[in-house]
């Protein structure tokens, strides 16, 4: 299996004291968005799935939504001379181009992420006021 990066929204910002809490919520909302707005077609269900993937960076780990897919299978279709294999290959990549172009930074998605986040914040403890201080 290999993966194709679909992205993130950017709501969770590294350095923010609530980064990991925001990141977890952002990833859950985006994963739900892909499942509901771009369900995996039945013909690809055994070959692909959405997930959250953690990437390592010098400044800290971050996460993005990815589509895992059976790369060796799709590579074999590309090299096939059978018309149905080539058509299946083309349909997969056409579908991927549609999901890849989803606007993950839209106001609608950002507002949805903010709404879920603020429902999780304990205002009595002042969590909504937390800020990070640069050293």
pLDDT over threshold 60, residue 133:
no
* Mean pLDDT score, 101-125: 91
Residue 123 lies in a domain: no
- Quick check: is 93 in a domain? yes
Q: Is the model's pLDDT at 62 over the cut of 60? A: yes
Give this prediction's pTM.
0.86
SS3 for 64?
A: strand
Q: Domain range spanning residue 101? A: 2-112
The answer to the question of residue 130 being in a domain is: no
Average pLDDT over the chain reads 91
Domain membership of residue 128 (yes or no) is no
The total of structural domains in the chain comes to 1
Task: Evaluate whether residue 71 is within a structural domain.
Answer: yes
């Amino acid at each position: 299996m290999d993966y194709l990066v679909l992205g993130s929204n950017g709501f969770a910002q590294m350095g923010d004291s609530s980064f990991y809490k925001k990141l977890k919520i952002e990833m859950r909302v985006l994963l739900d968005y892909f499942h509901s707005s771009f369900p995996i077609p039945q013909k690809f269900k055994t070959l692909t799935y959405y997930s959250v993937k953690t990437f390592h960076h010098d400044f800290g780990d971050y996460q993005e939504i990815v589509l895992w897919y059976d790369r060796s299978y799709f590579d074999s279709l590309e090299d096939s001379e059978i018309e149905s294999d080539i058509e299946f290959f083309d349909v997969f990549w056409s579908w991927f181009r549609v999901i890849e172009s989803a606007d993950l930074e839209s106001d609608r998605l950002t507002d949805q992420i903010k709404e879920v986040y603020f429902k999780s914040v304990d205002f009595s403890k002042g969590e909504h006021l937390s800020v990070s201080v640069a050293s």
